[in-house]
Amino acid sequence: MARLAPRPASPPASLSDAEVVARVLAGDDALFEILMRRHNQRLFRVARGILTDDSEAEDVLQEAWVRSFQALGGFRGESSVVTWLTRITAHEAMARSRRRRRLVPVAAVSGDDGGPPEREDAAAPPDRAAENRELQRALSAALDTLPDPLRAVFVLREVEGLSSQETADALEISPENTRVRLHRAKAMLRRELDERMGREVRRLYLFDGDRCDRVVAGVFERLGLAPGA
């Protein structure tokens, strides 16, 4: 297929996915950008859900788009365009994950969960913001413990909101297999979160030195007393 042409001044973003594909195949290569911008978020989350690493997910997303563009002539419309794109992205991500497991010993994996940057609610009190960060870490870490096939199904069904049939089409498995994997993923997440949240909650609500000092100082100030230490 020919190289991408320069971007048009006003791309017709109202075109459906199928219409965009038809126009690209007819030679209007620059319209491929519409598909990319329309579906980048979903496909990135699919790749990130499988790989648990932002940088690798971005690499996979680029590779998936290149492969999609090169294979566009083979799209037969047997599924929706986005399902077809999701399938390509999932395959690329799972292939990358398999290669990584062969090359990197488990013991060499660092403690960094590779999660997305955390955003703190500026209006939240400091203690609440700390709790939110810990909850986010626990959820991200628990999701990352799932085996790739289970995590892929969970991300497509619960994060992206795809139906069982759409998920099955994207991953090329049966709808029944999709339901089984989702059930297993949720059960594993519940167990992992129960364990993690127990640890995190106990740690969050420790009455540590700073809190103890603040309470002592506040009480003594209100009573007009001088601390003994």
CATH code for position 27:
1.10.1740.10
Neighbours of 129 (CB within 10 A): 15
**Amino acid present at 196:** R
Comparing CA positions, the residue from 63, 34, 66, 60 lying closest to residue 45 is: 60
Domains held by the chain: number: 2
CA distances 127 to 124, 132, 135, Å, are 8, 9, 12
d(CA 58, CA 36): 13
Domain that holds residue 141: 124-207
Per-residue pLDDT averaged across 184-209, rounded? Answer: 71
Q: What is the pLDDT of residue 22?
A: 94
Residues 85 and 26 in one domain: yes
Quote the Cα angle for 188-189-191, to 5°: 65
In contact, 166 and 191? CB cutoff 8 Å: no
Q: How far apart, in whole angstroms, are the C-alpha atoms of residue 113 and residue 191?
A: 18
Domain-embedded: residue 189: yes
> pLDDT per residue over 1-14, tens digit each?
555 555 544 456 68
For 17-66, the pLDDT digits (tens) are: 999 999 999 999 999 999 999 999 999 988 888 888 888 999 999 999 99
Buried b / exposed e across 131-155, counting CB within 10 Å, b at 16+?
beebbeebbebbbbebebbbbbbbb
Has residue 31 been placed in a domain? yes
Q: Any idea how long the chain is? A: 229
Looking at the fold, whether 40 and 79 belong to one and the same domain comes out as yes
- Give, in degrees to the nearest 5, the angle at Cα 9 between 7 and 11: 75
Per-residue CA distances from 112 to 10, 54, 140, 146, 172 (Å): 42, 12, 11, 16, 31
Q: Are residues 187 and 148 in the same domain?
A: yes
Mean pLDDT of 144-161: 87
Of 103, 138, 170, which one is at a domain's C-terminal end? Answer: 103
pLDDT at residue 68, as a whole number? 92
105 contact partners, CB below 8 Å, separation of at least 6: none
For residue 162 the two structure tokens come to 């795809």
How many alpha carbons fall within 13 Å on the CB side of residue 221? Answer: 6
